[in-house]
A and B are shown apart, each in its own frame.
Chain A
């Protein structure tokens, strides 16, 4: 075959898109090989982007120069900042999307990228020569050569869909499964497992009585995902809330004998945070009702997504049960809910770059690694794409750690802990949560994105400006002192108890009842230019306030980070020989040899590794360094 590319990306889902775009934009010729070239960037499940912790991922993808945030901004139909009732440190953006518009947007971006060639075919194997990838085998075109291959096969590998006791092979409704690739990779030595996920039925919009439901709108002042979106003025189309009841639950219970999950037909493990309605009813039998959200899948389209009603019961049971719900008495299904089982590759077989340990220049990203969710997939795709490109350019790898980003937490969790159930991001997975906020994703990451040639100069400049304004303001607030008299005169109506000693504006701002806005007029007297800058920049004002109010906690987290980083920077070479360390425990030796941790810190997060194992490795490492 004459076909040859720098990089082949297999799959055009959320992972595949980011992988292909980033590596192409970094100057490589990229081929996307995907089974259906009309199915680019499809949302298999929920027509929404972002959400708690996932919203953070999208902001980080954007700061690095990925596409997801821009696409979401362009095609969202309602935007909402979640957790607004809680502290700013845990706010997280979400939008509902017109999923058709989203896919069209992605289709256009991919097709207009001149370094990308789109090929419709099915990949059935990877070609490997002396442990390095050489290309892929396809059903129709035979071998296609490449210097690097990124697999982003989603839920398609030996996909098996279930509705009731009926199962059909396929990766997603209406799309074929991918066969042969798992077997080929297993032969190469990869370990594989099986997972499961599910989706709710879609309803015909015109058969719903929305009067019996309660509309729920997005924010009046929507916030964009992308740091480069300007003049943001998206629609605000409501979702509709309704509820299940005892009757619904009885019908579902009566259908359990035909449930592929409860009869043991499905072997793969499903996500606990995304339980099916049958699961919820069994496990929380004391709950008389569950909330459902009816979400529009696309403007001007007739299908409605039922958030909260994921199920794989037989179609007639689904219909009967859902018709007990207020507003849905006469509803008709566009398509029943279903569960899908698929192969995945436990991700401890990867390095932090997403490159496999077994085959050089072969990368895995997305649901193939046992994750679930568009955002998780996109984040991995971006990491894989950037790294594949950097490697071809002969540059240092891209690594973002747990203290820098949610993406870092995601990748590190995957490669060091593996996963038994579909992995989803949660804010509680991030140890340094209050430092990793959505509002400072650009400060944390845009420099890297800019250096890769992905993030725009505008975004990077803005991040630099935000950072310096923040630092300057904090130190100026610290340096501005007020006398007791002045404090009580100017802030007496705000502060809960009168001042008895002079304080700096910083100290005053730390009081819970004092807001930045309250002290800005005072600040303006001494630092007028700075105060004006803050005034005209609400985003920075929020950050300054947050930084000051929680300085103590931030400081503690920063100390924790410093400790963490010291261990992270002790690299372990991939060729490191654990069998040469005599006193290592046998469990430790085995785990370390298979997991090949990249640093001492990484090793410490592998389960079963003891402190004494780590000490021994540290000693041996030093000996290794002095010998080399």
Chain B
């Protein structure tokens, strides 16, 4: 079955150009846009389908883990009063692409579909909001975009993702043939496959799918750069390190702790990786409100980072603040840097006692250790590659994989529960359709072909 632009489902897309910094707006349009958005919001701060045009400050989090993604402003526009003439929700979030694509990704998990190019405008037209000449311009836009998307898809076709997805999908087709053959032919003709074998095969495909989707993060690093915040307590030398790595004075450096209060993001090429270095506000417990806001943002950066550079200042004691930061880094990907290596060691600088192991000593002033740091960053980023050639590079593919994974999990549990093949097949088919969305392959005939090539069938 071809992918259909299900005209009535809820779509989601980024409506400001993706990029660094600033505010980004993610839009949802369709009957489910409110309910989908609400799945990502805390139960006490949700939007109501009655509050047309009102902005609500709230937080988006991942419903499966509970992790907060971003503090956002959500606005609801009622059908007929919105651009698309459908229920429309705008989520204004902070700039980072990570945050944006997380919101897209979570929305698709919650039931939205990534919009086709020009689809919001198309709906505006279908709803009678814009006229035919405008719509024709949109049609041209769609075809132009599709052309470039097509070029991309050709590249991708040759690439590993397509191959890997195809091979996973053909495993599902085989699986499906085993399941369907039993339903379509009598026991005289076909020996049934034991349920544990089916379960095992589902599990194998699941593992493959998880491997590929596990690499979504790395795919994003390759395509849009790695998010690498520099953190540490005030005056640790973060801004100095940023400047040193950029070889340019971008951030203000002073002797006063607490100089940097907002984040600065600067792209830099490190051994072929696009690294988006982020200078952050020093972390300390503070009651001062501007600084507190900065600190909060820093914590947010830590959560969405691909790699964290943590500075501990050799010329000052290890303090409560350091330990708080250290606690925050648990289970994250980070490098511990002993900064200001040109200075002498403070007598209470005793990281070992707190089980902190510096990876490298550096000095932004003398350049000591900076080369090693570059290659350590590259090594760490490379290690994020799960060894998969197949790279999921956009949220749409990630959503397809995630839906396919969910369907297979359901199929697996039905199988283990002893459900009949006709029910297992409902989910197996779904899994196949979702992967087919990436490779553009169709379903039913493939399964029958597989059955005919495998089984001696027919009387």
Q: Which residues of A contact B (CB under 8 A)?
A: 46, 52-53, 82-83, 85-87, 89-90, 271-275, 280, 283-284, 287, 290-291, 293, 307-308, 417, 426-429, 431, 433-434, 512, 550, 553, 556-557, 563, 566-567, 570, 581-583, 585, 600-601, 604-607, 609-612, 614-616, 618-620, 622-623, 626
A620 to B132, CA, bound (A): 9
Whether the Cβ atoms of A272 and B4 lie closer than 8 Å is: no
Interface residues of B in 108-139 (CB under 8 A from A): 116-119, 122, 125-126, 132, 135-136, 138-139
- B422 interface contact, C-beta 8 A: yes
- Interface contact A619-B116, CB-CB below 8 Å: no
Q: Which residue of the partner chain, among A89, A308, A611, contacts B4 with CB atoms under 8 Å?
A: A611
Taking CB atoms, residues of chain B closer than 8 Å to A83 are 183, 186
Nearest Cβ distance between residue B83 and chain A, in whole angstroms? Answer: 16
Chain A hits for B189, CB < 8 A: 291
Could you tell me which residues of chain B, from 432 to 459, have a CB within 8 Å of some CB in chain A? 442, 444-445, 447-448, 451-452, 456-459
Of B3, B126, B420, B447, the residue contacting A86 (CB under 8 A) is B420
| CB neighbours of A570 from chain B (8 A) | 7
Using Cβ atoms and an 8 Å threshold, which residues of chain A touch B457?
A: 272-273, 275
The reply on B426 being an interface residue by CB < 8 A is: yes
Interface residue total, chain B, C-beta cutoff 8 A = 54
For B143, what are the chain A residues with a Cβ–Cβ distance below 8 Å?
Answer: 583, 585, 612, 616
Check B249 for interface membership: any CB of A closer than 8 A: no
Do the beta carbons of B423 and A550 come within 8 Å of each other?
yes
Question: B389 in the interface, Cβ–Cβ < 8 Å?
Answer: no
Is B126 a contact partner of A622 (Cβ separation < 8 A)? yes
C-alpha spacing A582/B418, complex, angstroms? 53
User: By CB atoms of chain A within 10 A, which of B119, B187, B423, B457 has the most?
Assistant: B423
**B117 (CB) vs chain A CBs: closest residue:** A612
Contact A611 B423 (CB under 8 A): no
Q: Using CB atoms and an 8 Å cutoff, list the residues of chain B in contact with chain A.
A: 1-9, 116-119, 122, 125-126, 132, 135-136, 138-140, 142-143, 146, 180, 182-189, 417-418, 420-423, 425-426, 429, 442, 444-445, 447-448, 451-452, 456-459
Q: Nearest residue in A to B138 (C-beta to C-beta)?
A: A619
Closest 5 CB pairs of A and B: A87-B420, A583-B143, A284-B456, A428-B180, A272-B452
In the complex, A609→B135 CA distance in Å? 21
Check B458–A622 contact: CB distance below 8 A: no
Q: How far is the CB of B210 from chain A (nearest CB, A)?
A: 23
Given A86-B420, A583-B143, A619-B125, are A604 and B4 also a contact pair (CB < 8 Å)? yes
For residue A440, give the distance in angstroms from its CB to the closest CB of chain B.
14
In contact, A622 and B125 (Cβ under 8 angstroms): yes
A431 to B138, CA, bound (A): 34
A87 with B423: CB separation less than 8 A? yes
> Nearest Cβ distance between residue B170 and chain A, in whole angstroms?
17
User: By the criterion CB–CB under 8 Å, are B122 and A567 in contact?
Assistant: no
The complex places the Cα of A169 from the Cα of B212 at a distance, in Å, of 58
Identify 11 new A-B residue pairs, CB closer than 8 A, beyond the known A567-B4, A612-B146: A86-B422, A87-B420, A89-B423, A271-B458, A417-B445, A426-B184, A427-B180, A428-B184, A585-B143, A609-B2, A618-B7
Q: For B429, list chain A residues within 8 Å (CB).
A: 431
What are 16 A-B residue pairs whose CB atoms fall within 8 Å in the complex? Answer: A46-B459, A52-B186, A53-B184, A86-B182, A86-B420, A90-B420, A567-B4, A601-B4, A610-B146, A611-B3, A611-B116, A612-B146, A615-B116, A615-B142, A616-B142, A619-B125
> Bound state CA distance, A272 and B454, in angstroms?
12
Nearest chain A CB to B427's CB is how many angstroms away? 9
Instruction: Check if B132 sits within 8 Å of A623, measured CB to CB.
Output: yes
Q: A86-B183, A275-B458, A616-B139 are in contact. Are A605 and B5 (CB under 8 A)?
A: no
CB distance A308 to B459 under 8 Å? yes
Task: Please indicate which of the listed interface residues B140, B445, B448, B456 has the most CB atoms of chain A within 10 Å of its own CB.
Answer: B456
Instruction: Decide: A89 and B184 in contact? CB cutoff 8 A.
Output: no
Judging by beta carbons under 8 Å apart, are A566 and B6 in contact? yes
**Complex: how many Å from CA A585 to CA B139?**
12
A619 near B458: Cβ-Cβ < 8 Å: no
Residues of A within 8 Å of B426, CB to CB, are 434, 553, 556-557
User: Which residue from chain B places its CB closest to the CB of A622 in the assembled complex?
Assistant: B126
Rounded to whole angstroms, the CA-CA distance of A583 and B143 in the bound complex is 6
Q: Is the CB of B139 within 8 A of A428?
A: no
Chain A residues closer than 8 Å to B125, beta-carbon distance: 619, 622
A429's contact among B185, B444, B456, by CB below 8 Å, is which?
B444
Contact at A566–B459, with CB atoms within 8 Å? no
Instruction: Name the A residues within 8 Å of B140 (CB-CB).
Output: 582-583
Kindly list chain B residues whose C-beta atoms are within 8 Å of the C-beta of A53.
184
Contact B186 A82 (CB under 8 A): yes
A residues in contact with B116, CB < 8 Å: 611-612, 615
Query: In the bound complex, what is the Cα–Cα distance between A247 and B319 (angstroms)?
Result: 89
Write out the residue numbers on chain B whose beta carbons fall within 8 Å of the beta carbon of A616.
139, 142-143
Known: A52-B183, A428-B448, A604-B2. A618 touches B122 (CB 8 A): yes
CB contacts (< 8 Å) of A585 on chain B: these are 143
> Taking A428-B180, A557-B426 as contacts, is the C-beta distance between A605 and B1 under 8 angstroms?
yes
Whether the pair B442, A607 counts as a contact (CB closer than 8 A) is: yes
Q: Is the CB of A427 within 8 A of B183?
A: yes
Closest residue of chain A to B187, judged by CB?
A85
The distance in angstroms between the C-alpha atoms of A417 and B2, with both chains bound, is 12
Q: Considering the chains assembled together, what is the distance between the CA atoms of A270 and B308 in angstroms?
A: 64
**Closest B residue, CB atoms, query A601:** B4
Which residues of chain B have C-beta atoms less than 8 A from A85's C-beta? 187
Q: Quick check: A619 and B126 within 8 Å, CB to CB?
A: yes
Q: A52-B184, A583-B142, A612-B142 given as contacts; is B5 within 8 A of A434 (CB)?
A: no
> In the assembled complex, how far is the CB of residue A418 from the closest CB belonging to chain B, in whole angstroms?
11
